[in-house]
Amino acid sequence: MSALLRVDRLSKQFGGLKAVNDISFHAEEGEIVGIVGPNGAGKTTVINLVSGVYKPDKGTVTFRGQVVTGMPPHSLVRRGLVRTFQAAVVYRESSVRENALRGAFAKLYPGFWNTLLNTKKARAMRADAEQAADELLEWLGMTAVANVKAGSLPYGYQKTLGMIVALLASPKLIMLDEPAAGLSPEEADHVRDVIRRVNHSGVTVVVVDHNMRFMSGLCHRLVAMHHGAELAEGTPEAVLKDPRVIEAYLGRGFEGVETL
């Protein structure tokens, strides 16, 4: 079976800095694949390259059997590849439901004139978007806060809302950039449960984070990065025990997975 996403020898340089250096990995349909590494390893740059925010200097990105290298983000969203960002990107003064609708309109936008004139097509698509948003909010347990201003939510729930916005674009694959960053242990557990539910619903997940404890309990496979290059790949248990990964995180002289 061919991979849903395949990244081959991707590289990106900013001035004299090689942010990503010849990295390759893949994600099969239904997997949760984690990209881990210490701060500055190049993880977010990989997400930016795959999602079309940056164009690579070399290498290819193949999604659903089609080469999509360098395509703009909106084109990738239409093909089913969606990403989130490190920070919880919400309209703080808008309600949770209004924020969620942004994702639905990525697929259900009726066009400028239909929207301006409030045509029958625009009203029908608006109704479909609202129904999709309400169903997803209920599924992820956020109906009770649907009319609350997004900026008043705990940070972990703002992160969940960011995922809801992405999911309403009907992705085949969602890329999550540092979903556990800035969260308390309880909030991180909540976000990890949400990611599992999303994956169990049939969405393939590629997740980037430096929190090894969070990632080891979530991912089917890990790709460890250091200085922009791949350091190790395999099951979480194998990667966590790899001496090169331990050294990259903690320096020389540490042994054993317990230290991570």
Q: What CATH number should be reported for the domain holding residue 49?
A: 3.40.50.300
Question: Which domain does 189 fall in, by range?
Answer: 5-88+173-259
Looking at the structure, tell me whether residues 33 and 56 fall in a common domain. yes
Looking at the structure, tell me whether residues 128 and 238 fall in a common domain. no
Q: 167 lies in a domain?
A: no
Q: 77 lies in a domain?
A: yes
Which of 123, 152, 181 terminates a domain? The answer is 152
Residue range 131-139: mean pLDDT, rounded: 91
pLDDT tens for 31-76 read 999 999 988 899 999 999 999 999 999 999 999 999 999 999 999 9
| Per-residue model confidence (pLDDT) at position 259 | 41
Looking at the structure, tell me whether residues 101 and 36 fall in a common domain. no
Q: What does each C-alpha distance from 8 to 32, 38, 39, 49, 231 come to in angstroms? A: 19, 22, 23, 12, 15
**Minimum mean pLDDT among 16-30, 103-117, 152-166: which range?**
103-117
